[in-house]
Structure 1
Amino acid sequence: MESYKELFNEYIKMYRPYINQLNALLVEFNLTTAQWSIMNFVFREGAKTIGDISLYQNVEKPTTTKLVQKLIELGYVEIYAGDDKRVKFVQLSNEGLAVYSKVRRKIDHFQNSLLEGISEDDRLIVVRILKGISDKIETYKG
């Protein structure tokens, strides 16, 4: 099999089981991977608008709005108005920060266990390759 086919086959083969395991870790916090991704993004980048989150997630604003609404219901995020009252920002609540810390520890443990025996150099190569492919997907015209 050509190497490009093998690369994408292995990625596809890995993706679903990884997401399933991640969802299993998140269930105790009533979170999905999409909701966790929002929490992680807001934690890393600071308060963001629904539009910012939608761009990051690469999903439509209504989908992001539903995900954020669920996070509000869980008490993990809160909304506040910016200087322009029409612009609303999403930030982690105090409870969200506490949950973020607990979830982050669980995910760190899970991810590190998956990478046992893989050198830092190899990890960085994979990161560089996946980032390059991701960048090309965004600009691919067919």
Structure 2
Amino acid sequence: MKKLEGEVLRFVGTLSRCINSKADFEYKKFNLKKSQYMFLTRVCENPGINFVNLSNLLKVDKTTTTKAVKKLIDIGYLNKQQDKDDKREYKLTATKKGLEIYEFMIEEENKQFRTSFKNFSEEEKEMATKLIKRMSENIEEYWIDIKNKQ
């Protein structure tokens, strides 16, 4: 029987599922479902982003992005505007309502950060962030390879 080389990805997965479950619960009152909050936060942080770049940023397929963005437009959190230079492309921005919710989401994300890093020193927080960022960059190459084969 093969032996697992390390458990870190299982812990990262657990962390991710807990954060998403808590966020989905908290954002239900804003009519957000199934991690749609991630799309809203990234558009708020990257005004004018297009669908392809948003998909790449979140590491999801274009169909998932299209569905989430449509829902966010329908409930009044995002605007979609045709690009002046490339008529096939659309730029996404948050509405005033979307920006107000973004403020709440950042507060919630900060709570999750404080909870996750309880009893960590500043040095440990920085080290964990650097290591997870590096892991994310490494796995991105793997994700791009799979994406290109689809």
- TM-superposed CA distance for 1:54, in Å, is 0.9
Report the CA distance shift for 1:9/1:58 in structure 2 as closer, same or farther (over 3 A): closer
- 2:79 is the alignment partner of 1:78: yes
Which residue does 1:133 correspond to in 2? 135
Report the CA distance shift for 1:71/1:115 in structure 2 as closer, same or farther (over 3 A): same
TM-score where L is the length of structure 2: 0.81
The one of 99, 102, 107 aligned to 1:100: 102
- Alpha-carbon distance between aligned partners in 2 of 1:137 and 1:103, rounded to the nearest angstrom: 26
* One-letter amino acid of the counterpart of residue 127, structure 1: T
- TM-superposed CA distance for 1:4, in Å, is 5.3
Q: Give the 4+ runs in structure 1 shifted more than 6 A.
A: none
The one of 107, 121, 124 aligned to 2:123: 121
Contact 1:39 1:92 in 2 (8 A): yes
Which residue does 1:19 correspond to in 2? 20
- Alpha-carbon distance between aligned partners in 2 of 1:120 and 1:90, rounded to the nearest angstrom: 36
Report the CA distance shift for 1:83/1:55 in structure 2 as closer, same or farther (over 3 A): same
Contact 1:48 1:89 in 2 (8 A): yes
Contact 2:50 2:90 in 1 (8 A): yes
Contact 1:77 1:96 in 2 (8 A): yes
- Alpha-carbon distance between aligned partners in 2 of 1:129 and 1:62, rounded to the nearest angstrom: 31
Identity %: 24
**Count of residues in Structure 1 that have an aligned counterpart in Structure 2:** 140
- TM-superposed CA distance for 1:34, in Å, is 3.1
- TM-superposed CA distance for 1:109, in Å, is 2.4
Any gaps of 5 or more consecutive residues in structure 2?
A: 146-150
Which residue does 1:48 correspond to in 2? 49
Report the CA distance shift for 1:131/1:33 in structure 2 as closer, same or farther (over 3 A): farther
Report the CA distance shift for 1:129/1:33 in structure 2 as closer, same or farther (over 3 A): farther
Q: CA RMSD in A?
A: 2.2
* One-letter amino acid of the counterpart of residue 13, structure 2: I
Contact 2:19 2:112 in 1 (8 A): no
Which residue does 1:9 correspond to in 2? 10
TM-score where L is the length of structure 1: 0.85
